[in-house]
Amino acid sequence: MTDIITGISIVIPARNEEEGLERLLPLLKDRYPDAQIIVVNDGSTDSTADICKQHNITQISHPYSMGNGAAIKAGVRAAKKDIIVFMDADGQHDVNDIERMTEKLNQGYEMVIGARSLDSHASLPRRYANQIYNKLASFMTGYDIHDLTSGFRVAKRDKFIKFLYLLPNGFSYPTTSTMAFFRSGYAVGYIDIKAGSREGKSHINVFKDGIRFFIIILKIGALFSPMRLFLPISSLLFMTGIGYYLYTYLVFGRFTNMSALIILASLITFLMGIMAEFVTSLHYKDIEETNSNINR
């Protein structure tokens, strides 16, 4: 376990998180003195930069706020170790959980996620929204997803870096990376964690970012498992068209143009799903070719 702990890069995106970093950085340096600690300063206007210098931490600075996902991508590119730990700068994550996560990773997983207990969420709306996201993402990927939006995770760098082009620049990198790993056949594990109260004010808007999470779930699901999205929609349209046809036939004694249009829409949707499956197969081919080039 000592070899794993010394061979990690810890990536921490931060925007105006001086309070959290003041407490977090000394704990990390004391607990994991040989780890590479990277703070990506995403256009902070507080003392974030000074705190990083004070604790002699590797810092990547953005001239303006480019987003949480952009910070993650910058941190991954700068990481030099084979294992990357992602954690928030707000003090919610327990540094001692890193060892538990790396132990789990060593059991054959490519990524391990810290799944928060229900009472770890700041409010009831976030708690219920996260449960809905988990259920929807589980359906789209075909795997049981315990915590889709947790920002506390450990991953193998060579696997994670393949999906950087998919990651949005906003707050949805956990959503995208989780679903991408699952649909690409990489083993994803979970450990139960208790997230503490954050230092400072949250930058996430429940409604605005919630809609973004929902759209990203559909986009990633459509990219990696198109028929899970298109087939239910096609089936619903087909059953609606048939139902409307039976209704108009029994009531008016004729077949209506609307019924034909709905049935035709179901056929077009189904064909779009088939075409998307072909596109997906090309995506997997590209990933396999990337794997081959890396392993040479």
Residues 241 and 263 sit within 8 Å (Cβ to Cβ): yes
Could you tell me if 135 and 248 lie in one domain? Answer: no
Query: 45-54, 125-134, 176-185, 193-202 — which is least confidently predicted?
Result: 193-202
- pLDDT for residue 252: 84
Could you tell me if 177 and 41 lie in one domain? Answer: yes
Number of domains in the chain: 2
Confidence grade of residue 284 (pLDDT, cut at 50, 70, 90): low
Decide which of 175, 194, 223 is a domain's last residue: 223
As a whole number, mean pLDDT of residues 288-293 equals 53
d(CA 175, CA 67): 15
Could you tell me if 190 and 291 lie in one domain? Answer: no
Q: Tell whether the model's pLDDT for residue 77 goes beyond 60.
A: yes
Could you tell me if 145 and 272 lie in one domain? Answer: no
Q: Tell whether the model's pLDDT for residue 295 goes beyond 50.
A: no
d(CA 273, CA 236): 14
What percentage of residues in the chain have a pLDDT greater than 90? 49
- pLDDT for residue 285: 58
Confidence grade of residue 6 (pLDDT, cut at 50, 70, 90): low
Higher pLDDT, 102 or 182: 102
Could you tell me if 186 and 246 lie in one domain? Answer: no
Beta strands in the chain (DSSP E): 8-14, 36-42, 58-62, 83-86, 111-116, 153-156, 188-193
Two tokens, residue 75: 């941190």
- pLDDT for residue 60: 96
Q: Is the whole model's pTM more than 0.85, yes or no?
A: no
Could you tell me if 41 and 90 lie in one domain? Answer: yes
Residues 17 and 90 sit within 8 Å (Cβ to Cβ): yes
3 state SS for 151-219: CCEEEEHHHHHHHHHHCCCCCCHHHHHHHHHHHCCCCEEEEEECCCCCCCCCCCCHHHHHHHHHHHHHH
Look-up of token digits 């649909």: 183
- pLDDT for residue 243: 93
Confidence grade of residue 195 (pLDDT, cut at 50, 70, 90): confident
The residues, any chain, with a CB within 8 Å of residue 31's CB and separated by 6 or more, are 95, 96, 98
The CATH number assigned to the domain holding 144 equals 3.90.550.10
- pLDDT for residue 201: 55
Decide which of 223, 247, 274 is a domain's last residue: 223
d(CA 52, CA 149): 26
- pLDDT for residue 270: 93
Name the average pLDDT for the chain: 84
Confidence grade of residue 166 (pLDDT, cut at 50, 70, 90): confident
pLDDT, tens digit (0-9, with 9 covering 90-100), for 245-265? 999 888 888 878 888 999 999
Could you tell me if 176 and 272 lie in one domain? Answer: no
pLDDT, tens digit (0-9, with 9 covering 90-100), for 115-153? 987 665 555 666 677 777 788 778 877 788 888 888 899
Which residues constitute the domain of residue 129? 2-223
Decide which of 173, 189, 223 is a domain's last residue: 223
Residues 190 and 112 sit within 8 Å (Cβ to Cβ): yes
